[in-house]
Amino acid sequence: NAGVTQTPKFRVLKTGQSMTLLCAQDMNHEYMYWYRQDPGMGLRLIHYSVGEGTTAKGEVPDGYNVSRLKKQNFLLGLESAAPSQTSVYFCASSYFANSPLHFGNGTRLTVT
């Protein structure tokens, strides 16, 4: 049982480039989330989804887009990367709205 899988694990981008981070979960969870973690700060919610075909903004959504075309996948896109988006990105999922989140192992993104 893989749980929550994030790809890639590491990525270096130049300012202005675009990329997509993929999150896949095999637990049949309805809810999926994207967080970012920066030094000296807690994890902050970027976007989330309450089911296939739905997305919503979290605390820090600017500069990111998401899609949930399939229940098991949640994609995070950066259309024009900026150095401020250098961070570690975590995807998470949960079955119920108020149940503990299961996290992936993160993607370390550096934007130069």
Q: Which residues of this protein are in contact with other proteins, per CB under 8 A?
A: 4, 31, 33, 35, 40-45, 48-50, 54, 56, 58-59, 90, 92, 94, 97-106
Query: What separation in angstroms does the CA of 59 have from each of 39, 42, 89, 95?
Result: 17, 12, 14, 21
- Structure tokens, 46: 């970027």
Smallest distance from the beta carbon of 58 to other proteins, in angstroms?
A: 7
Smallest distance from the beta carbon of 82 to other proteins, in angstroms?
A: 23
Q: How many CB atoms lie within 10 A of CB 112?
A: 10
Quick one: 33 or 64, whose CB is closer to other proteins? Answer: 33
Smallest distance from the beta carbon of 31 to other proteins, in angstroms?
A: 6
The upper half-sphere exposure of residue 110, i.e. CA atoms within 13 Å in the direction of its Cβ, equals: 4
**Selection from 56, 70, 75 nearest residue 7 by Cα:** 75
Quick one: 26 or 79, whose CB is closer to other proteins? Answer: 26
Quick one: 19 or 88, whose CB is closer to other proteins? Answer: 88
Which 3 state secondary structure label does DSSP give 18?
Answer: coil
Smallest distance from the beta carbon of 4 to other proteins, in angstroms?
A: 7
